[in-house]
A and B are shown apart, each in its own frame.
Chain A
Amino acid sequence: MATMAGPSRLIGAPIKRREDPRLVQGLSHYVDDIKLVNTLHCTFLRSDYAHADIKSIDTEAAENLSGVVKVITGSDIAGKVGSIPCAAEIEGLKVPDHPALAVGRVRFVGEPIAAVVATDPYVARDALDLIEVEYDELPAVVDLDAAIESDSTVIYDEFDDNIAFTMPLDAGDVDAAFAEADHVVSQRFVNQRLIPNSIEPRGVLAEYLPGEGTLTVWSSTQVPHHLKTILSLLLDLPEQLVRVIAPEVGGGFGSKLNVYPEEAVVAYLATQLRKPVKWIEKRSEGFTTTIHGRDQVDYVDMAVKNDGTITALRAKLLANMGAYHQLLTPIIPVLTYLMMPGAYKIPNIKLELIGVFTNKMATDAYRGAGRPEATHIIERMVDLAAQKLGMDAKEIRFKNFPQPDEFPLEMATGVTYDSGNYQMSFNKALDTVDYASLRARQAELRGQGRYMGIGIATYAEICGMGPSVGVAGGGWESSTVRIERTGKVTVLTGVSPHGQGQETSFAQIVADEYGISIDDIVIIHGDTGRQPQGIGTFGSRATAVGGAALIIATQQVKEKMAQIAAHMLEANADDLVFEDGNIFVQGSPDSAVTFADVAATAHVAVNLPPEVEPGLEATHFFEPSNFTYPFGAHISIVEVDPETGEIDLQRYVAVDDCGNIINPLLVDGQVHGGIAQGLGQAMYEGAVYDENGQLLTGSFMDYAIPKATQVPRFETEHTTTPSPVNPLGVKGVGEAGTIASSPCLVNAVVDALSPFGITDIDMPMTPNRVWQAIQDAQ
Chain B
Amino acid sequence: MKIKADYTVSAHREKVWEHLTDADLLSQSIPGCEELKAAGNDTYEATIKVGVAGIKGTYKGTVTLENMQPPSAYRLIVEGKSTIGFLKGACDFRLEEVNSGETKVELAGELTVGGKLARVGQRIIGSAAKMTIGQFFKQINKLVTTDTDS
Q: A48-B114, A49-B114, A109-B114 are in contact. Are A690 and B86 (CB under 8 A)?
A: no
Contact with B along A698-715 (1 / 0, CB 8 A): 110110000000000000
CA–CA, A341 to B77, complex, Å? 54
User: Does A129 make an interface contact (CB < 8 A)?
Assistant: yes
The reply to whether A695 and B112 contact each other, CB–CB distance below 8 Å, is no
Docked complex: A277-328 residues within 8 A CB-CB of B: 284, 287-288
**Which residues in B have their C-beta under 8 angstroms from that of A701?**
53, 120, 123
CA–CA, A109 to B115, complex, Å? 7
The reply to whether A48 and B122 contact each other, CB–CB distance below 8 Å, is no
Contact with A along B65-95 (1 / 0, CB 8 A): 0000000000000000101011000000000
**Which residues in A have their C-beta under 8 angstroms from that of B53?**
701
**Which residues in A have their C-beta under 8 angstroms from that of B119?**
109, 284, 287-288, 694-699
CA–CA, A698 to B122, complex, Å? 9
User: Does B11 make an interface contact (CB < 8 A)?
Assistant: no
User: Does A692 make an interface contact (CB < 8 A)?
Assistant: yes
CA–CA, A129 to B81, complex, Å? 11
Least CB distance from A59 to B in Å reads 15
Please name the 6 residue pairs, one residue from A and one from B, whose CB atoms are nearest each other, closest first: A698-B119, A48-B115, A694-B118, A129-B83, A48-B114, A696-B122
By secondary structure, the B interface counts as: mixed
6 additional contacts (CB under 8 A) given A109-B115, A695-B119, A698-B120 = A48-B86, A50-B114, A109-B119, A694-B122, A698-B119, A701-B123
User: Does B113 make an interface contact (CB < 8 A)?
Assistant: yes
Partner of A694, one of B81, B113, B123: B113
Q: A48-B114, A49-B114 are in contact. Are A699 and B86 (CB under 8 A)?
A: no
**Which residues in A have their C-beta under 8 angstroms from that of B122?**
690, 694, 696, 702
Least CB distance from A165 to B in Å reads 30
Least CB distance from B56 to A in Å reads 12
**Which residues in A have their C-beta under 8 angstroms from that of B15?**
none
**Which residues in B have their C-beta under 8 angstroms from that of A48?**
81, 85-86, 114-116
**Which residues in A have their C-beta under 8 angstroms from that of B83?**
128-129
Interface residues of B (CB under 8 A from A): 53, 81, 83, 85-86, 112-116, 118-120, 122-123
**Which residues in A have their C-beta under 8 angstroms from that of B112?**
692
Chain A CB within 10 A, most for which of B83, B114, B123 = B114
CA–CA, A236 to B115, complex, Å? 35
**Which residues in A have their C-beta under 8 angstroms from that of B116?**
48, 284, 698
CA–CA, A694 to B119, complex, Å? 7
Determine the residue in chain A with the shortest Cβ distance to B120: A699
CA–CA, A692 to B86, complex, Å? 12
The reply to whether B120 and A284 contact each other, CB–CB distance below 8 Å, is yes
The reply to whether B123 and A702 contact each other, CB–CB distance below 8 Å, is yes
The reply to whether A694 and B120 contact each other, CB–CB distance below 8 Å, is no
CA–CA, A695 to B83, complex, Å? 17
Determine the residue in chain B with the shortest Cβ distance to A691: B112
**Which residues in B have their C-beta under 8 angstroms from that of A49?**
86, 114
Determine the residue in chain B with the shortest Cβ distance to A703: B119
**Which residues in A have their C-beta under 8 angstroms from that of B85?**
48
Chain A CB within 10 A, most for which of B118, B119, B123 = B119
Least CB distance from A197 to B in Å reads 14
30 contacts between A and B (CB under 8 A): A48-B85, A48-B86, A48-B114, A48-B116, A49-B86, A49-B114, A109-B118, A109-B119, A128-B83, A284-B116, A284-B119, A288-B119, A690-B122, A692-B112, A692-B114, A694-B113, A694-B114, A694-B115, A694-B118, A694-B119, A694-B122, A696-B119, A696-B123, A697-B119, A698-B119, A699-B119, A699-B120, A701-B120, A702-B122, A702-B123
Least CB distance from B123 to A in Å reads 6
The reply to whether A696 and B118 contact each other, CB–CB distance below 8 Å, is yes
Determine the residue in chain B with the shortest Cβ distance to A46: B115
Least CB distance from A292 to B in Å reads 14
**Which residues in A have their C-beta under 8 angstroms from that of B120?**
284, 698-699, 701-702
The reply to whether A695 and B118 contact each other, CB–CB distance below 8 Å, is yes
CA–CA, A210 to B114, complex, Å? 42
CA–CA, A690 to B118, complex, Å? 9
**Which residues in B have their C-beta under 8 angstroms from that of A699?**
119-120
Least CB distance from B109 to A in Å reads 16
CA–CA, A338 to B119, complex, Å? 35
Determine the residue in chain A with the shortest Cβ distance to B114: A48
**Which residues in B have their C-beta under 8 angstroms from that of A702?**
120, 122-123
Partner of B118, one of A128, A129, A698: A698
**Which residues in B have their C-beta under 8 angstroms from that of A287?**
119
**Which residues in B have their C-beta under 8 angstroms from that of A129?**
83
Chain B CB within 10 A, most for which of A50, A690, A694, A697 = A694
